Each structure stands twice: as C-alpha cells, then as structure tokens.
Amino acid sequence: MSYAELSREELEALKAALEAEYAEHCAKGLALNMARGKPGADQLALSLPMLDCVNATTELFAEDGTDCRNYGVMDGIPEAKRLMASIMDHDAERVCVFGNSSLNIMYDLVSHGMLYGYLGAPAWKTLPEIAWICPSPGYDRHFAICEQLGIRMIPVRMTETGPDMDEVERIAASDASVKGIWCVPQYSNPTGAVYSDEVVRRLASMECAAEDFRIFWDNAYCVHHLYEGREAHVADIAAACEASGHPDRYFKFASTSKVTFPGAGIAAVAASAANIAEIKSRVGVQTVGYDKLNQLRHVKFLGDANGMAEHMKKHAAIIAPKFDMVLDMLEAGLEGVGATWSKPDGGYFISFEGLPGTAKRTVALAKEAGVTMTGAGATWPYKNDPRDTNIRIAPTLPPMNELEQAMEVFVCCVKLASVEALLAE
Amino acid sequence: MSYAELSREELEALKAALEAEYAEHCAKGLALNMARGKPGADQLALSLPMLDCVNATTELFAEDGTDCRNYGVMDGIPEAKRLMASIMDHDAERVCVFGNSSLNIMYDLVSHGMLYGYLGAPAWKTLPEIAWICPSPGYDRHFAICEQLGIRMIPVRMTETGPDMDEVERIAASDASVKGIWCVPQYSNPTGAVYSDEVVRRLASMECAAEDFRIFWDNAYCVHHLYEGREAHVADIAAACEASGHPDRYFKFASTSKVTFPGAGIAAVAASAANIAEIKSRVGVQTVGYDKLNQLRHVKFLGDANGMAEHMKKHAAIIAPKFDMVLDMLEAGLEGVGATWSKPDGGYFISFEGLPGTAKRTVALAKEAGVTMTGAGATWPYKNDPRDTNIRIAPTLPPMNELEQAMEVFVCCVKLASVEALLAE
C-alpha cells in the first residue's frame, strides 16, 4: 500500500484510525526525550573507572615533568597530545589539547577570524560581509555560531558522500566573502554520511576566492563506529590540503565528549604549523591554560588509539541495538508512506526525511504526545528547512523500552502528519 | 647610610664591593624562579584529598538531579553556584560557574563587547576606538587582553586604597570610547592594595560618558588572606552600583585557581540579572557546557564558605612565612637605598619600587645570576613602566631555602643597579 495512491476516502478513513491511535498514545502521559545526542546512563558507566585514574595518591606529573596540578602548559601535556593526535591522523606536535569542548574551540577560531583575521589576512570585522558554506541538513550548533556572529549562511545540499561539491566549488570560487565551510566528515550530523575520498580531495584542492578560506573539519565521530566490519575512515583532510598546495586551509577538531563524559572530556584542534603557532599565541592571551589533571585522567584511562578503540566497542555494543530497533520500527511502521531515512554505520543520529511540509507537524504531534524530538528545522541554517522534511532522531539517551515507546509514537505521528498533508494537497 | 648622600668616591667603592658580591652569586650557578604567582608544591598537596571526592563509586548527581557526567547545565550546578556566590558576596541565582579560568571569562566578556555590545549598546567593533582604564601597576594578563583586542590602555596611578579616583572619574566622564576598567580590588596584583569603601562608592556612582561602561571586578584574592586578624574585606561593588542607579555596571569574577589547583579549579562570574541573562545566551552558543564533575568535586571538598576559609588558613600557614622572609630581607638589606615595597595582608605579590630607571637593570642582573623575576615593565600597559621602577616579587613558588637564596641575589642586584644609576646621574 502506497499512501500516494490512496483515494481521498481511503485517506480519510486512515486519518480517523490514526487519530484514534494517536489519542491512545496521548493518554499514556509519556515524558520521553530524543532531542539531543546524549549518551545513555549505561554508556556513562563505562567511563566510571576513569575517575579513579587520578586520585590523591597517584603520580600527577606529565611525562615531561610538568606538575599537572599547577599553572603552565598552554597546548596540552605531551601524552594527551599524542592520544588525540592518534585519532585525528595528525602529528602530535601540531595538535593542541585544550578544555572540555571542541565546540568552544571552533567558536573561538571563528571569532578569532572576526576579530583578528588568520595569518595576516584582514580581520573579518573590517569587511562588509562574511559568509559560510553550510552543508544541510547539518549540526545546529555550528549554524548557531555563524548566526550569533552575523555570518551569512549558504546552505548546500548534503549527499551520501558529503556536500554537493559542484555547488561548494561554485560558491567558494565566486565569492571572496565566503570564508569557511562546516564539515562533519565521518558519520555526519545528522545524516551519517561519510565524505568520499573524492569530496575530500575536491575540498582541499578547490579554488577559493578568499585566500583565508578555512575548512572546519569537525571529526566529532572519528572513532564512533556502530558495527564491527563496517568502520568508515574518512581521508585525511590535512594530507589532501598539503598535497594540493593549501597547507593552511583546514582546522581539524575532535573530543572525547562521547568517548568518556560529555562536559568532562578533553577537546583538541589540529592544524598546520603556521595555524597552530597563531592559535597558541592567541589562546595564550585568553587563558592561563586548561585542565591538565583531566588530560592526565584521560591518558591513564584510554591509553592509546587501541585502548580508545576497545572502549568504543563497548559503546557500540550498547547503542547499536538502539539504532537497529529504530531502523526496524521505521521499516516496519512506515511502509508505503513515502518517507526515507539514513542507515548510518556510526555517529549519533538517524536523519529522517518525511513528506514535504510534514516535519514541523510531526514533531509538534510527538511533543503533544509526550515525546520530545529535536526541533524540526534545527538541522538547517536559521532553522529554515526549505521543504520542511528533515527530523533528526537521536536514539542513544533513552533506555531500550522507552526508545521503543517513543518510536511507536513517532511512527504514528509521521503517518498522521503524512495523511494530513496528502489530504491538504 | 643613605645612598643619595654618598660621594662619588664612596659610590665607586660601594659599586666595586657589590660587583664582587654579585660575581660570587653568579658563580653559584643558580636556577631559581620567582616570575609568576604560582602556588608551591606544599600548597598543591593541601588539595590532594579533593581528587578522591569524585570517584567511580560516588554519587555523581547534583542536588537538582542533574547527572554531572552528561551534557546539560550551562551556568553551573546549584551547589557550585552557591559556593562561589558565598565568596563573591552575591545572590547564587545571578552567578554562573563556568570552566577552569576566570581570565577566560573576562576575555570572553571583553570580546563579547567587541563583537556584540552589551545590553543593546552598539558592538564596539563598529566604533572608531575603544579605550580602557588600567590602574597601574596592575595585572599583565589583563593588559594583554586589551592589547590583543586593540583597545587603547590608559594607565592610572594605583594608590594604597585603589586607583587615583580623581583621574578615573575625569577619564570616564570625558570620553565615551572608554568602556571599562580593570580592578583587582582586594590584595591587588601586584601592590596588595585593598580598595577603600570610598573608592568602591566612587567607581559605582561616577558619571560615565559611555552608557555601556563596565567595571571588571577581578576579585582573584577574595579569600586569600595572609595573617589572621588582618583580613581585608572589600565593599561589595554590586550593592554600590545598585545603590547609585547603575545596576549593570559591574562584572565580578572569582576562581579557585589558588584555592585548590591552578588550571583545574572552577571559575565564576557574578552580575546583574540582565547581564547574567545576556552572558548565558551568548555562552550557550559558544559551548555545550562546562565540567560539572569538577564543580561537584569542589563542592564536596570545600563544602561552604567556612570550609573554604579553613582551607585558606592552611595556605596562609605555608606562604605567610615566605612573605615575612622576603620583607625581612628587603628591610635588612636595602636600608638607605631609597627603594620602597608593599607589605600586603593577602594575595600573591610584593610590589617593589626601586630608584627611577633601575627596574629593568635589576631584573637583568638577577636573570644573569640565575634568578628569574617577572619581567620589569610587565605590570604596566604595553610593558611600559614610565619611570622603570616597578618589580613584582612572587614569593610563593620556591621553597624557603631557594627563596632565601633568590632574595640574597635580588637584594644585591637592587643595590648594584641603584649605585650604577646614581653614578650615571
């Protein structure tokens, strides 16, 4: 049965049945939350032993003799730099480990562009307009940074292998006010897309009207695989930029927020030697240094890239069944509706595409029934999803039984909103 | 014996004797550091038990049920807000507890003024010039923020009760480009001055040409007393601003960097309700939140204001003897030279005033003999001490025996530089 082929009478009958089902969901008084990509309690428990790695009796000196309890060291203790470098495909010498938030490092770097400019180029505040390429659907907090700083966002369609590169190349080449692009290259937020080697190569080598154009390479999910044997590994943007003669074009970011504890993890930036030198000199005015005890805690707990990979398998064992259940319920419940969704191999989200004009209504219906989803539109610049189709599903936080309940409600809401939309045509 | 009354011959003889003594110091091959206000190892040991307050088996929920291991909470867990509010003389509802660095909060707020403006006033980046009042000698890292952001610094002389308020009032009233003032109101860096009630009242009530003028009230040493019975307590700038009809004029800052661990402490800002709302909305774009586990760790260890005060007495017991020894050695060694120095009741520094034109030379001589002091001039905007007299002495880091050696060298260098200066007149 395809919804598109139903007669008006059949749609009306279906609507009545769905409204009855929806009323039953509403009557349950649910209060479930799938809004954000937060780890569940069982995932957080995986990292509890880390809290014992630094205590009153442990050695609190870094390998270079730095007393991690005192002031000093702007760019991270050597062993923390090495650990983060190992998951960022980078030389540890050109990695800075800072505080608990990679988003904060990204914000600081965009604001540095605005206030000071990069590597001798004019500060953006002196220019009439600044614009940014925003592959969409994308990460709402990236877009919020641009919006707050008054940077004009240009949405570009995401494909299964990264942003539409014809569009990206056209925009970057033609407009010197375009200073950057947001990329979540591996298990993209929210679509789960993995950038192809070809996309990485084209981003690195494309002609940019702005000499100070920067690729903000937010590799938030670099070690966040869901299924053994299906691990993605995106090509190294640094190597690609160097190979094409644009060694300063990228900033790479990563954090342990979804490895250990969100909010109490460590975050890092990797870049060219020139960019790293500039970052250090500017951040050195901003703070006296970051939490080295927490860096030490992470190194003692995770060890190296192998230790990190083993730890991530434990996360996958907890969350892959959640992804599987969501995908199964969408598959079983939405046959014929005409909706589509991503089937990611990693990351934190499933990206749902409903019929045109139904996303806002679906999220509102779910909310009314006690199930909070990410706001419809949040995945687009200015919260403006032009076709009102995309909903980000975040399966990790609720326990399995709650997730099942929430998805039952969601499936019902999708169907009801779809029928309503078809009847309104 | 007063150096100023010595004949040329007597000065020459003295110089020869001092050069011989100086050569002996140089021959020792010392490597001592008094450059920064860093706690010593024995002070750091005081807070080691804090590392056991949060471990794999402790309750990791805040009193409002927040899971401190996960995302969420922008402005700090309630009990951390209450703890910081208690030492900041503030209502906990109008306190934000952020990351590990109050300097970073200050930088962010100055850059917010530049990028966005405060409470509806124009962003400073749209104005032709921004200027700042800098009581001097003052804190070099405050000045570095202004310098990096291209803010013109106007030095104003520090007195024993705060900045020269006639000057401050004149500048603030006459120039709308003057947007702020740096204040370390209690045990000022480096002079140890405590702002008088009169100075606090005048800062709060003075006429400002800029409606968005802000007092950056860096109460870094609010609980950092050296001697029991001589505790200072500066008047509350918030109450003074409210009483004079300027409730939004101040930002207060404090941290536990010199209470627990520098770099691994917690930092807070306190302000009016309107300012706090604006700060939260802006910081909420910058980061997903700060380290709540470290906030919890601090609350469990320090408890409340009384617990903090008891803990600070242990610091005082370690560092007061260091201050006493430095003061005794200056007193005994520099009789008749004509130098002066502060005798603080708290904080981290002794401010030394040598003869005009001798500070740079003294620090260079000490460096040559293996004793690193804070760079001469660092305590003035643009590192420009107009009379070249001020040297910041930081007695806390070296153990007593090293401090004694360092001060012997310093006293010798002061005398030698003074004699050289008098001979050159």
What tens digit of pLDDT does each residue of B26-36 get?
999 999 999 88
| Residue range(s) in chain A whose domain bears CATH number 3.90.1150.10 | 3-44+309-423
| CB contact set of A315 (below 8 Å; sequence gap of 6+) | A39, A43, A46, A224, A258, A259
- CA A92, distance to chain mean position in Å, is 23
**C-alpha closest to that of A308 among B293, A76, A316:** A316
Q: Does residue A35 or residue A354 have the better pLDDT?
A: A354
Ramachandran assignment for B163, one of left (phi > 0), alpha (psi -120 to 50 degrees), beta (any other) = beta
The residue-averaged pLDDT of A406-420 equals 98
Q: What is the pLDDT of residue B232?
A: 96
Q: Which residues in A lie closer than 8 A to residue B257 (C-beta atoms)?
A: 71, 288
A148·B38 Cβ contact <8 A? no
| Residue range(s) in chain B whose domain bears CATH number 3.90.1150.10 | 3-44+309-424
| Of residues A71, A100, A294, nearest to B262 (C-beta) | A71
Interface-testing mutation among A261, A278, A298, A301, with chain B (most B C-beta atoms within 10 A): A261
Q: A378 exposed, middle or buried (CB, 10 Å; 0-12, 13-18, 19+)?
A: buried
Answer yes or no: is pLDDT of A425 > 90: no
User: What is d(CA B355, CA B421) in angstroms, rounded to the nearest whole number?
Assistant: 8
Q: Please, which residues 356-385 of chain B have a Cβ atom closer than 8 Å to chain A?
A: none
Query: What angle (nearest 5°) sits at the alpha carbon of residue B184, between those of residues B178 and B189?
Result: 115
Q: Please, which residues 198-237 of chain B have a Cβ atom closer than 8 Å to chain A?
A: none
- The percent of residues above 90 in pLDDT, for chain A, comes to 99
B104·A286 Cβ contact <8 A? yes
User: What is d(CA A226, CA A324) in angstroms, rounded to the nearest whole number?
Assistant: 10
**C-alpha closest to that of B382 among B42, B158, B179, B151:** B151
**C-alpha closest to that of A277 among A75, A134, A81:** A75
B104·A48 Cβ contact <8 A? no
User: What is d(CA B101, CA B145) in angstroms, rounded to the nearest whole number?
Assistant: 14
Kindly state whether B8 is in contact with chain A, defined as any CB-CB distance less than 8 angstroms. Answer: no
Kindly state whether B288 is in contact with chain A, defined as any CB-CB distance less than 8 angstroms. Answer: yes
Whether a cis peptide bond, with omega within 30° of 0, leads into B190 is yes
Q: What is the pLDDT of residues A217-264, one digit of tens each?
A: 999 999 999 999 999 999 999 999 999 999 999 999 999 999 999 999
The residue-averaged pLDDT of B310-319 equals 98
Q: What is the pLDDT of residues B1-17, one digit of tens each?
A: 799 999 999 999 999 99
In one-letter notation, the amino acid at residue A272 is S
| Of residues A54, A71, A263, nearest to B263 (C-beta) | A71
Kindly state whether B280 is in contact with chain A, defined as any CB-CB distance less than 8 angstroms. Answer: no
Answer yes or no: is pLDDT of A194 > 90: yes
User: What is d(CA A379, CA B298) in angstroms, rounded to the nearest whole number?
Assistant: 37
| Of residues B39, B263, B285, nearest to A144 (C-beta) | B285
Q: What is the pLDDT of residue A176?
A: 98
Dihedral Cα B160, B161, B165, B168, nearest 10 deg: 80
| Residue B176's pLDDT band (cuts 50, 70, 90) | very high
Kindly state whether A399 is in contact with chain B, defined as any CB-CB distance less than 8 angstroms. Answer: no
| Of residues A54, A264, A289, nearest to B292 (C-beta) | A264
Q: Which residues in B lie closer than 8 A to residue A257 (C-beta atoms)?
A: 71, 288
| Residue range(s) in chain B whose domain bears CATH number 3.40.640.10 | 61-303
Q: What is the pLDDT of residues A135-175, one digit of tens each?
A: 999 999 999 999 999 999 999 999 999 999 999 999 999 99
Q: How far is B57 from chain A (nearest CA, A)?
A: 8
Domain A3-44+309-423: state its class.
alpha beta
Task: Name the DSSP class of A50.
Answer: G
Q: CA B327, B333, B335, B336 torsion: positive or negative?
A: negative
Maximal C-alpha separation, chain A: 78
Tell me how many residue pairs between chain A and chain B have CB atoms under 8 A apart: 165
The rounded mean pLDDT for chain B is: 97
Q: What is the pLDDT of residue A1?
A: 78
**Collapsing DSSP states into helix, strand and coil, what is residue A388?**
coil
Please count the other Cβ atoms lying within 10 Å of the Cβ belonging to residue B325.
15
Backbone angles phi, psi at A350, to 5 degrees: -115, 130
User: What is d(CA B305, CA B88) in angstroms, rounded to the nearest whole number?
Assistant: 10
Q: What is the pLDDT of residue B342?
A: 98
| CB contact set of A281 (below 8 Å; sequence gap of 6+) | none
| Residue B425's pLDDT band (cuts 50, 70, 90) | confident
Question: Is 0.85 exceeded by the ipTM?
Answer: yes
Backbone angles phi, psi at A228, to 5 degrees: -60, 140
Contact A239, A208 (CB under 8 A): no
Kindly state whether A39 is in contact with chain B, defined as any CB-CB distance less than 8 angstroms. Answer: yes
Q: What is the pLDDT of residue A416?
A: 98
Pick one of 3.90.1150.10, 3.30.420.40, 3.30.590.20, 3.40.50.300 as the CATH number of B3-44+309-424: 3.90.1150.10
Pick one of 3.40.640.10, 3.40.50.1820, 1.10.10.10, 3.40.710.10 as the CATH number of B61-303: 3.40.640.10
| Of residues A111, A264, A282, nearest to B291 (C-beta) | A264
Interface-testing mutation among B100, B145, B256, with chain A (most A C-beta atoms within 10 A): B100
**Collapsing DSSP states into helix, strand and coil, what is residue A164?**
coil
In sequence order, which ranges of B8-69 are alpha helices (DSSP H)? 8-27, 41-45
Task: Name the DSSP class of B4.
Answer: G
User: What is d(CA B97, CA B295) in angstroms, rounded to the nearest whole number?
Assistant: 8
